[in-house]
Amino acid sequence: MEALSVQSETWPPLPLEEWKDTCATLHMWTQIVGKIRLAQTPLVNHWWNVPLYVSARGLTTTAMPYNQISFEMEFDFIDHNLVVKCSDGATREVPLSPKSVATFYQETMSVLRELGIEVHIWRMPVEIPDPIPFDEDYSHASYDPDYANRFWRILQQCERVMQEFRGGFIGKCSFDLAVTRFSGRPAPAKPEADLITREAYSHEVISHGWWPGQGPLGKPAFYSYTAPAPAGLSDAKIRPKEAFYSTDMSLYLLMYDDLRDAQNPEHALMEFMQSTYEAGANLAKWDRPTLERQ
């Protein structure tokens, strides 16, 4: 009965402590697939060719070219398989179950070879402490299908609200698992930053997204940041009242559990994104009339 109750929730609970091992393993699995997408697609500004996208069953790469065919890789969080589909009709699956990152990497590459697809990727994960090459990582080996499904269902709800938020902006804007709006003006160069960071923040941005809980925060939360951050941003008035500015992280946060407790979570999320966008755009003197749908 408890599982049925959780399944029926629009915004299900996702305490990090109960699925942190699955979260860490799934993070590495998605990096493997993301690096395959990076290898098979033309470079797009700000690395927009790399992210995965929410699908009707999980997360997908969308179609990627390979010689005379195209292929798609989708994490199916209902039947719990990584499904590889080709435009010539061929398909293969890698079961999602408790297994090491190394095993998942080997199975995924084997499935691609069976389909006649040879892809070579850099085997080192990025943006995590103490990275381990994918084919040597036997320490991350957890998969809880219930929590993987909850994670995806939350992303579904986030996307629904973020799509609506995205529609109000007519300027340059990304949309994958986050919404990043651009003023159109170059940002000050960051010579000390690595190549990835320099490309991502080459222009002024205001970004909104959701963290499942990993990292220093330790709890799932929605975030908003303006880069470069204008003076006075931390003092701006935002909504809903539960949202706050984190001086440690230099961004706005709305904790996921506070959103779940809201009378109308979708309205609360839209309020958070709109009010933090307005705070950043006004203080940074963005040309809002030319960037927003009137």
DSSP 176-217: SSEEEEEEEEEPPP-TTS-HHHHHHTSEEEEEEEEE-STTTT
- Which 3 state secondary structure label does DSSP give 224? strand
Task: Using CB atoms within 10 Å of the CB of residue 273, give its burial: 0 to 12 exposed, 13 to 18 middle, 19+ buried.
Answer: buried
Buried b vs exposed e over 149-186: b needs ≥16 C-beta within 10 Å? Answer: bbbbbbbebbbebbeebbebbeeebbbeebbbbbbeee
> Quick check: 32 pLDDT over 50?
yes
User: Tokens for 72?
Assistant: 């798609």
Comparing CA positions, the residue from 108, 68, 76 lying closest to residue 92 is: 108
- HSE (side-chain half, CA atoms, 13 Å) at 73: 27
> Quick check: 69 pLDDT over 50?
yes
> Quick check: 269 pLDDT over 50?
yes
Give, for 73, the enclosing helix (H) or strand (E).
strand 69-76
> Quick check: 108 pLDDT over 60?
yes
Which residues are within 8 A (CB) of 60 and not within 5 positions of it... i.e. 6 or more apart?
52, 53, 54, 72, 73, 74, 75
Predicted confidence at residue 198, as pLDDT, reads 87
Quote the percentage of the chain above a pLDDT of 90: 85
Contact 202, 172 (CB under 8 A): no
Q: 109 in the Ramachandran plot: left (φ > 0), alpha (ψ -120 to 50) or beta?
A: alpha
What is the CA 170 to chain-centroid distance, rounded? 22
User: Tokens for 218?
Assistant: 């330790």
Cα–Cα distance measured from residue 280 to residue 155, given in angstroms and rounded to the nearest whole number: 25
Q: How many residues appear in the chain? A: 294
Comparing CA positions, the residue from 51, 60, 6 lying closest to residue 209 is: 51
pLDDT tens readout for residues 126-147: 989 999 999 999 999 999 999 9
Predicted confidence at residue 225, as pLDDT, reads 97
HEC per residue, 94-127: EECCCCCHHHHHHHHHHHHHHCCCCCCCCCCCCC
Confidence label for 8 from pLDDT (cuts 50, 70 and 90):
very low
